[in-house]
Structure 1
Amino acid sequence: MEYKREKPVSLKIMESLAKRGELTPKERQYLQQLQKGFAGERVFDQMSTQLSKNCLIMNDLLLQPDASNAFQIDSLILTNKAIYLYEIKNYSGEYCYGEEMLLKLPNFKVSNPLIQVQTTKNKLILFLKELQYDIDVKAYVTYVNPEFTLFNAPRRENILLPTQLNKHFTTLENQSIPLTAFHKKIAADFAAHQIEPTPFKNDIPNYSFSDLRKGICCEKCNSFHLELQRIKYHCCSCMYERSINSALLASIKEYQLLFPDNNLNTEMLFRWCNKAVTKKRIRRVLNTLL
């Protein structure tokens, strides 16, 4: 059983700003980091699909304990024997291991993710204690990119390299037995304490309605070069075709994402869509959201 992973809000916003505005080199680098991180999480998700219903997979948890600060978990797998916590990294290239820092050759340093995953593990253990659960917790830094090399890596059980992942999941599957009501109650308590993530505002560039390009985009390639027919649209860039209402709904949701504090109204959305569709159509699609 799996709780599906959603694209992070920060990534959605940055992709929209890249499509409708101009990003600085630093902002584009931030977008690429978000995209790479999400791609790595999707790789992990695909590999973990081999696990049966005897395991419960929960992704992108942002847990708010009653007695401490919220903390985030990339992926968590609940089995009959233990909770497995994964900090997923999509690093590529050649790195040298260090207790405090990893050195990407020739001279770029990043913090050792083992420090981060140990902190998260400690927070999870305290949270389980708060909820009065006694269950073992195992935590791993999980490197998913096949083009990642880690020189001088110690033989430690809490590091999973790309070549070890299939074996890890196979072992987990072979050892798993059906979950009990006890485990399902843990999952329910996690869900009850989960909160909605908010974007890291310091990393999101300032933007306004007037700054952004208006129009309806192709849902496949994000092109604004659309030929609108009576019911469907034809993308002149990638030849994709779908209903106009589908693209319009996507544009409305994009507006909601970028301007969550603004009320939805037909006139503003008419301007947001660059007057490409009628107000009557906008009202009809808008009614499906209200």
Structure 2
Amino acid sequence: MTNDVEKPLYLEQYEALLRRLPERHPKYARASADYQKYAAGFQGEENLTYTLAMLNLHKEAFIRRGLRLKSVSNDYYFQIDLLIVTPCFLYIGEVKNYSGELLFEPHYGQVTQIKGETTATFPCPLQQGRRQARQLTTWLEQHGIKQLPVHSHVLLANPRTRISAEKQITDLYHAALLPEILDSLCLNHTKRVLTKKQIVGLEKLFAKENVEGTYSLLEKYDLRPQEILQSITCPSCSSRLLKRRRGGWDCTACGSKKQLLHVEALRDLALLYTDFHPLGMYRILLGHISVNTARKLLDPYVTVKGNRRSREYKVVLEKFQ
């Protein structure tokens, strides 16, 4: 059983974009606001770690977080924030980290967030959770696992959030109540439907079929590569006056010395723009360094295509592990 949740790749992509995109750029504010929204959601999932450690689950149960599965019948992906598999039932938690006061109106398919003098309306996560339960049930049936009870609830990770609704919503509550809710479900589901072998197989299947989502942020924000592929900057003073000397980088503006600035810049490039480029583009990115130095710095992190005259390079994210 694991309670850990890793930072999603799309958050790393946003962080790379905000490092590379100048703050004065007209798209920066929108990208930054989107990043803050997604980061808040991830923070909510992180806040669950302590609560999940308090669960009294069957010894064969396991937990998967941030699960993204592809439908067998089409190219559609669906994502589950929290999945708990027990011998008797499956539990889906749709995790939200909203703050302020939330007015749930499931009959309208909406939730209104009230924070001070401002309000905002979002799609109701209750319907989203139920849709995930149906999708997971179908996915399991397509993999030969049928008649497995699936429960879907919405968990509010922020303990200071106030819930408002016309009447009680039984599948909506603060995440701190999760241990008691699962205890109740265990009492109501005593018939075993998964064997130990099936549980082990299902855990391996989820690990195999999980596909982490990636996004083209340049396409989303209609950015040209040259708008973000700028030369490396000094982390101490933000100057671009960097020189490659004796295996490191010297800032001629503030005098600081760094070793791996090119690695950070190349990894940002791998996160943002997975395409082939001529060597000249990388030379510009790395401060107009020489051809031989560029090839030496790129070699551990790229794949190459073309002959010597038309050779192009693509930075591969996996090579930074």
TM-score normalised by L of structure 1? 0.77
Equivalence for 1:114: 126
Partner residue of 1:57 out of 52, 63, 67: 63
> Displacement, 1:195?
3.1
Counterpart of 1:60 in structure 2: which amino acid?
Answer: G
How many Å apart are 1:71 and its aligned residue?
A: 1.4
Long gaps (5+) in structure 1: none
Q: Counterpart amino acid of 1:244? A: Q
Q: CA deviation at 1:210?
A: 2.2
- Structure 2: give runs of 5+ residues left out of the alignment: 303-317
Give, as a single letter, the amino acid of the residue that structure 2 aligns with 1:189: L
Which residue of 2 is the match for residue 180 of structure 1? 196
Q: Matches of 1:172 and 1:251 in 2, distance apart?
A: 49
2:173 and 2:245 map into 1 onto residues whose CA distance is 52
Q: Is the 8 A contact 2:216 2:272 kept in 1?
A: no
Structure 1 residue 211 and structure 2 residue 218: aligned? Answer: no
Question: What residue identity is the alignment partner of 2:209?
Answer: H
Distance 1:150 1:254, change over 3 A: same
Question: Deviations for 1:214-269, whole angstroms, at most 9, x for unmatched residues?
Answer: 21575xxx97469988677899xxxx99x724x43332221111111225x76543
Q: Secondary structure at the match of 1:250?
A: helix
User: 1:41-98, CA deviations, whole angstroms, 9 ceiling, x for partnerless residues?
Assistant: 2222443244576432222222113224331111212222221111110100012221
Q: Shift of the alpha carbon at 1:208? A: 2.8
Which residue of the other structure, out of 80, 85, 88, is the alignment partner of 2:95? 88
Equivalent residue number for residue 315 of structure 2: none
Q: Distance in 1 between matches of 2:87 and 2:237?
A: 48
Q: What CA RMSD, in Å, does the superposition of the two structures yield over aligned residues?
A: 4.0
The structure 1 residue matched to 2:85, chosen from 69, 78, 85, is 78
> Partner residue of 1:10?
10
Q: CA, structure 1 residues 202+115, in 2 after alignment: closer, same or farther (shift >3 Å)?
A: farther
Query: What is the deviation of 1:202?
Result: 9.3
Partner of 1:198: 214
- Indicate yes or no: 2:67 matched with 1:37: no
Question: Per-residue displacement from partner, 1:177-211 (whole Å, max 9, x unpaired)?
Answer: 99811111112223333334232769821223322
- Equivalences for 1:219-258 in 2 at 5 Å? 224=238, 244-245=259-260, 247-258=261-272
Structure label with greater radius of gyration: 2
> Which stretch of the first structure deviates more once superposed, 171-180 or 202-211?
171-180
Letter in 2 for 1:286: Y
Letter in 2 for 1:37: G
Figure out how many residues of one structure are paired with residues of the other and give that number: 280
Q: Could you tell me whether the CA contact under 8 Å between 1:215 and 1:276 is conserved in 2? A: no
User: Which whole-Å CA distance do the structure 1 matches of 2:62 and 2:295 have between them?
Assistant: 45
Structure 1 residue ranges, 4+ long, deviating more than 4 angstroms after superposition: 50-53, 166-179, 200-203, 222-235, 275-278
Indicate the percent of aligned positions where both proteins have the same amino acid.
20
